[in-house]
Amino acid sequence: MSDIDHSALAAMVRGLYLGELSWPVTLAATNGAAGGDAECLSLGLPKGGGLELAAAAMKTGLAQWRSQRGGAPGLVPGCVVVETGSGATAFWPGSSLDEARLRAGRADSSAWAARAPWAVDPKRPWLSRTSAEGRSSVVEGRIALVTGGAQGFGEEIVRGLAASGALVFIADLNLAGAERLAAELNAVLERTAAIALALDVSDEKSVSAAIDSSVSAAGGLDLVVSNAGVLKAGSVLDMEASAFRLVTEVNYTGFFYIAKHAGRVLRAQASASGNWASDIVQINSKSGLEGSNRNGAYAGSKFGSIGLVQSFALELVEYGIKVNAICPGNFFDGPLWSDPVKGLFVQYLQSGKVPGAKSVADVKAFYEAKVPMGRGCEGSDVMRALYYLVEQAYETGQALPVTGGQVMLG
Ligand SMILES: NC(=O)c1ccc[n+]([C@@H]2O[C@H](COP(=O)([O-])OP(=O)(O)OC[C@H]3O[C@@H](n4cnc5c(N)ncnc54)[C@H](O)[C@@H]3O)[C@@H](O)[C@H]2O)c1
């Protein structure tokens, strides 16, 4: 069993539950056996042989466990204990992280009354699965990770997902900001809705560690939003190579690191679940669809990322992983544009970039007039696109514009 690391193991156990239940499950892990309770599934996995053999052994173990209990469909173990070379790990399922942690804390290995996290209407049981009605329910109970989630579009996405019932890891260079946001959401929503993680997406070790932390805490992932990004505008004739490299490393290489390490977890999860779809979504930009004057480093990193999205989508479809990009227009009300000290509106006013503009309001009006729908992109516009991509089971490798008509695909 030494060839499968803890993250892959946790994701596979979660995959086992996902495959049985077809709704999201959270896992809390503890060291040591669970006391041999009859409602636990104990697994010893084959040494060597990789994910496929281990997943097959897990499924066989579950089938045997169930047949010993009369084969009742839908019956799932109260916990799963996996023997590894270095001891046993017990995984405790819950419909929320709070429930999983409570059961782990009590070592409660009695039969788990698994329930879907959303309210299923008994008269219309198909509704929550097949309709766009109440679209936010598509993320309820799911485990999400949002990079750059402490402010801007990332913060909007974190708030939207948490309000819709997901558990969200807020992974950001600005750990203090991520912690503040997590504390606020947990207090307001009265549950563990968000957990902060330190992350530098341009550092592969940091990405690997953050993904591992999220899986250690909750057992797996359903939706990874690669949102962290930086913008350094400048003429191709003058731009310093260091600025160009920074933009490329965060926006382009950082997305590769996220897709690589999250993708490994999602693959392991899928090896045991069979049919559970997961999502990697990159927050791209309208500048990934058309060039941006004196902003080549940024536009290049975004265009390039669409190449990664398409290529990763082709490869990862085998594991039920959809990979798509959302290309928002300008978020005028976010800090990048509206920060009163260093926001782009103030900068453009001071540099005289907008002829005749006498105030920040004039500069804003100038940019709003470029949008056919007359306003900037907002968090809720991006959330609708995200819900669509998660709900849509028959699309991958797309770059979805959310620009108020400013960019139209040919
Ligand atoms: N603001 C816009 O108008 C706009 C428009 C289209 C697309 N986008 C895209 O949306 C995404 C978010 O942009 P925003 O304007 O909201 O950004 P922002 O500058 O307001 O926030 C970015 C967040 O990412 C974090 N971050 C920066 N570098 C990081 C790194 N190396 N590792 C981890 N976290 C890091 C920051 O700490 C911050 O919390 C970016 O990918 C951006 O390209 C923004």
Reported as a single tens digit per residue, the pLDDT across 123-176 is: 555 444 444 456 778 999 999 999 999 999 999 999 999 999 999 999 999 999
Cα separation values, 9 from 58, 102, 235, 316, Å: 10, 21, 48, 19
pLDDT of residue 69: 85
In total, the chain counts a number of residues equal to: 410
153 lines ligand 1 (CB under 6 A): yes
Residue 104 CB: number of other CB atoms within 10 A?
A: 21
pLDDT score, position 86:
73
Contact yes or no for 102/137 (Cβ under 8 A)? no
| Contact call for residues 41 and 52 (beta carbons, < 8 A) | no
Q: Is the CB of 299 under 6 A from ligand 1?
A: no
Answer whether 227 contacts ligand 1 (Cβ < 6 A). yes
Bridging pattern class, strands 79-84 and 87-94: antiparallel
Exposure on the CB side of residue 198, measured as CA atoms within 13 A: 5
- Range 8-34 average pLDDT: 91
206 in contact with ligand 1, CB cutoff 6 A = no
The model's pTM is 0.92
> For strand 79-84 and strand 40-44, is the pairing parallel, antiparallel, or unpaired?
parallel
Mutation to probe ligand 1, out of 173, 202, 224, 261 (largest number of atoms < 8 A from CB): 173
Question: Measuring from atom 24 of ligand 1, which residue has the nearest CA?
Answer: 148
The residue with tokens 């965060």 is 250
**281 strand-pairing partners:** 225, 324
In the annotation, is 319 catalytic?
A: no
Residue-wise pLDDT for 52-68, tens only, equals 999 999 999 999 998 88
Q: How far apart are CA 361 and CA 344, in angstroms?
A: 12
Mean pLDDT, residues 294-304: 97
Confidence of residue 36 (pLDDT cuts 50, 70, 90): low
Ligand 1 centre and the CA of 250: distance in Å?
Answer: 10
Catalytic residue among 17, 252, 257, 298: 298
* Angle at the Cα of 181 from the Cα atoms of 344 and 114, rounded to 5 degrees: 135
DSSP assignment letter at 49 = S
Considering the chain, what percentage of its residues have pLDDT values greater than 90?
Answer: 80
Mutate to test the pocket of ligand 1, among 147, 159, 172 (most ligand atoms within 8 A of CB): 172
CA separation (Å) from 188 to 86, 152, 372, 392? 40, 20, 37, 30
Give tens-digit pLDDT for 239-258: 999 999 999 999 999 999 99
Q: What is the DSSP pairing of strand 223-226 with strand 278-283?
A: parallel
Core vs surface per residue 307-325: b (16+ CB within 10 A) or e: ebbbebbeebeebbbbbbb
Cα torsion 63, 64, 65, 71: sign:
positive
Strands 167-172 and 194-198: parallel
pLDDT of amino acid 37:
63
CA distance 91 to 112: 12
Is pLDDT above 60 for 204?
A: yes
User: Would you call 286 exposed, middle or buried from its count of C-beta atoms within 10 A (0-12, 13-18, 19+)?
Assistant: buried
Q: What pLDDT is attached to residue 129?
A: 47
Is 305 near ligand 1, meaning CB less than 6 Å away? Answer: no
Establish whether residue 228 lines the binding site of ligand 1, counting it when its CB lies within 6 angstroms of any ligand atom.
Answer: yes
Is the predicted pLDDT of residue 269 greater than 50, yes or no?
yes
Q: Which of 93, 4, 86, 2 is nearest to 40 (CA)?
A: 93
Q: Which three-class secondary structure state does DSSP give residue 176?
A: helix
Ligand 1 pocket test, pick from 159, 169, 336 with the greatest ligand atom count within 8 Å of Cβ, gives 336
Strand partners, 322: 279
Task: Judge contact between 281 and 324, C-beta under 8 A.
Answer: yes
Phi/psi for 320 (5° steps) reads: 70, 20
Higher pLDDT, 42 or 84: 42
H/E segment holding residue 105? helix 97-105
Q: What's the pLDDT score for residue 66?
A: 87
Give the per-residue pLDDT at 156: 96
Query: Mind listing the domains of the chain with CATH numbers?
Result: 6-105 (no CATH), 134-329+380-396 (3.40.50.720), 330-376 (no CATH)
State the Cα–Cα distance between residues 382 and 173, nearest whole angstrom.
22
What is the rounded CA–CA span in Å between residue 77 and residue 292? 54
pLDDT of 364 over the 50 cut? yes
pLDDT at 355: 92
152 alpha carbon – ligand 1 mean position (Å): 6
Q: How many CB atoms lie within 10 A of CB 139?
A: 27
Q: Is the confidence at residue 408, as pLDDT, over 80?
A: yes
Q: Is 173 in the pocket of ligand 1 (CB under 6 A)?
A: yes
The pLDDT score that the predictor gives to residue 198 is 98
Tell me which residue of 330, 329, 287, 319 sits closest to 396, measured CA to CA.
319
Residue closest via CA to ligand 1's atom 43 equals 229
